[in-house]
Amino acid sequence: SQQGEEDPQALSIQEGENATMNCSYKTSINNLQWYRQNSGRGLVHLILIRSNEREKHSGRLRVTLDTSKKSSSLLITASRAADTASYFCATDFRMAANSKLTFGKGITLSVRP
């Protein structure tokens, strides 16, 4: 399967702590994206990192990509209760003219106030 796999499946931390979530994949990618989902409804795009990038920042988010290990990590610094959500990594295995994101099963993050 080309599907990315996140770990851990669930993470519970105290407000103010950092949360680190990992994603591994199996084949070469064009890019990797992280999305967030609240309450089982629509996903919100957080950050995209291209295959030629190693690290990217956006506010309290830091994403790294190691193409040699086929893995990525999402770090949320100084977590807040509002960060409680499911987080998905999605990999772009673009083939021919199609662009198709393959999503993992997600990580459930709980931030305790």
Partner 1 sequence: GAGVSQSPSNKVTEKGKDVELRCDPISGHTALYWYRQSLGQGLEFLIYFQGNSAPDKSGLPSDRFSAERTGGSVSTLTIQRTQQEDSAVYLCASSLGWGVGLGTDTQYFGPGTRLTVL
Choice from 31, 71, 72, 79 touching partner 1 (CB under 8 A): 31
Question: Of 13-21, 36-44, 57-65, 71-79, which segment contacts partner 1 by CB under 8 A?
Answer: 36-44
The answer to whether residue 53 forms part of the interface with partner 1 (CB under 8 A) is no
Task: Report d(CA 71, CA 80) in Å as an integer.
Answer: 25
Which DSSP string corresponds to 29-81?
A: -SEEEEEEESTTS-EEEEEEEETT-SEEEETTEEEEEETTTTEEEEEE-S--G
User: Would you call the peptide bond into 8 cis, given omega within 30 degrees of 0 as the criterion?
Assistant: yes
Residues 69-98 that bind partner 1 (CB under 8 A): 88, 92, 94, 97-98
Question: Of 13-21, 33-41, 56-64, 65-73, which segment contacts partner 1 by CB under 8 A?
Answer: 33-41
The answer to whether residue 103 forms part of the interface with partner 1 (CB under 8 A) is yes
Minimum distance from CB of 16 to partner 1 (Å)? 28
The answer to whether residue 3 forms part of the interface with partner 1 (CB under 8 A) is yes
* 46, 58 contact by CB (below 8 A): yes
At residue 66, what are phi and psi to the nearest 5 degrees?
-120, 100
The answer to whether residue 48 forms part of the interface with partner 1 (CB under 8 A) is yes
